[in-house]
Amino acid sequence: MRQKKSWNELTTVQKGSVLLSIGVQLSLLAAALTDLRKRPAAEINGPKAAWAVGSFVSFIGPTAYFLFGRKKTTVAAWKKL
């Protein structure tokens, strides 16, 4: 069984990978929460509060929101914006 390494024991590439993963996770979270805040409830599948809480679940939450939480919009709806 592998032992856990401390931050100082990681290589530069491993540290970069960890920081990149954190950056992607926080970016997805921020994008999902921003979209939830701006989008009307009528354009979201399910309750907004549930999607907001679910967005905090690793990469899965925000990705699920973008794939399944938003109702499909038409090109005509985008032209109104």
Say whether pLDDT at 2 is over 80: no
Exposed, middle or buried, 32 (CB in 10 Å: 0-12/13-18/19+)? buried
Indicate yes or no: pTM above 0.85: no
CA 16 to chain centre: 20
Q: Using one digit for the tens of pLDDT, what is the confidence trace for 11-48?
A: 999 999 999 999 999 999 999 999 999 999 999 999 99
